[in-house]
Amino acid sequence: MSSGSSLTLDQEVSLTIYALAYGSEGIAKHEGMVVFVPEALPGDTVRVRLTQVKSKFARGEIVELIKPSDKRVQPFCSHASACGGCTWEALEYGEQLEAKRIFVENALVHIGHLKTVTVNPTLKASPQAGYRHKIQIPFQQGSGGVTAGFYAKHTHSVVPVEECPNQPALGNKIFREARALIKQFGYTGYNEISDQGQVRHLVIRLGANTHEALAILVTRERELPRLSEWAAELRQRIPELVGVLQNVNPAKTNVILSSEYRTLFGRAFFFEQLRGLKYRISAESFFQVNPFQMPALAGVVLEAAALTGKETVLDLFCGVGWLTLELARQARWVVGVESVRLAIEDARANAQLNNMNNVEFIAADASAGAAQLRAKGVKPDVVVVDPPRKGCDRSVIDVILRWRPKRIVYVSCNPVTLARDLALMFPRGYALKSAQPVDLFPHTYHVETVACLVRIGEPHVG
């Protein structure tokens, strides 16, 4: 309980939501105390039962929606209230875009310690449904047999679905046929509590512009009866499948994929085409889940890099070389660094596929790869980083800042770690030139941001 508030656990209070927190909870205040309310939207008046009361904040669940916000819309998916995949289907799309812009702005001010910042309006997605081209579907064993769908909000209990409107028709078709065959062949779903069962997940990878597909069956056991026959039957039903794979994951973990793959049919990679370039993407290689927005994202990165054709560019966390090849179109020389060796193999193949001779790829983690290049005397004019959600290690930032590149282009899927990392760069000779959010994940709170930093004066480098 707060010293300035009389709120208690299980108390019911009426609140008006005035904003959204990063993570998609609604924010209200009661007697000066901040109250977070899942599933509440700005403008809602709600009656809430308090489920958590701390010294500086409380959290509650909606008991009654007294007056809905005028920003509420009818969800387009019948599973929206139960499924944890899309938290914002009930929020008008323009409001989603503004909320994401505010997330980035707040992070840069409160975590990045910028007194003033201008964050551009979020670039909207088109289409806003059917965009997910990597699909991960859990399978569970219940009293009624195998259940497949998506996890309910804040749980690992599966909500059974027939299709997901945020996936393309081909992805939904592969899911339905694979599920039917799993039942037909008598395979069991996974039980997390007992650590028993055969099938854990089905992972689907799709090429939006090539219409190629991979299906990856994640199993707890290495040997399943008639598995090759299962794969052949799935391929017969789905001609677009260029590969059917098995991923063996015996660990008691919520990590979906292990490092062990077996090809049951076809090949272990698919092709995608974007902006006139062709990409080979292996089953375990990262690629953006929304290919429709990748051209817009590439355009923002290239504008931020401001290349003239004379620059040496370093692309850290390069994956299969998507941005590396885009940058190579406008730079003298580009080096991509990536720790996943199979992704580097894809990247090198992609350079050959597109006849790119002004690129080089290094298989190493970002810090080691950057240090290796620095030891060789490489001095990039522009550094592009596209790290995972956890952001950049301090060692990566230190190596970059010792180079003093003219520009640093930071592509981030997490405003919090973006702002944290930029806060380390500002005192060492860099200023924020632009921050551009891009909506790659409609109907969720996730936002991609491209931040452009420019070098100013002579920084102190420790």
The residues annotated with a catalytic role in the active site are 413
Bridge partners, 263 (sequence order): 245
CA geometry: angle 291, 294, 300, nearest 5 deg:
170
Q: Rounded CA gap, 256 and 247, in Å?
A: 9
Would you give the DSSP letter of residue 99? H
Distance CA 450, CA 438 (A): 8
Tokens of 136: 């991960």
Which residues is 385 bridged to in the sheet? Answer: 316, 410
Spatial distance between the Cα atoms of 358 and 377, rounded to a whole number of angstroms: 18
Q: 38 with 61: CB under 8 angstroms?
A: yes
Supply the angle between the helices 169-184 and 227-237 in degrees, to the nearest 10. Answer: 140
CA 453/CA 271 separation, integer angstroms:
33
Distance of CA 362 to the CA centre of its chain: 24
Kindly compute the dihedral angle of the four CA atoms of residues 290, 296, 297, 299, in this order, to the nearest 10 degrees: 150
Query: Phi/psi of residue 94, each to 5°?
Result: -60, -35
For Cα atoms 150, 153, 155, give the angle at the middle one, nearest 5 degrees: 80
Contact 153, 84 (CB under 8 A): yes
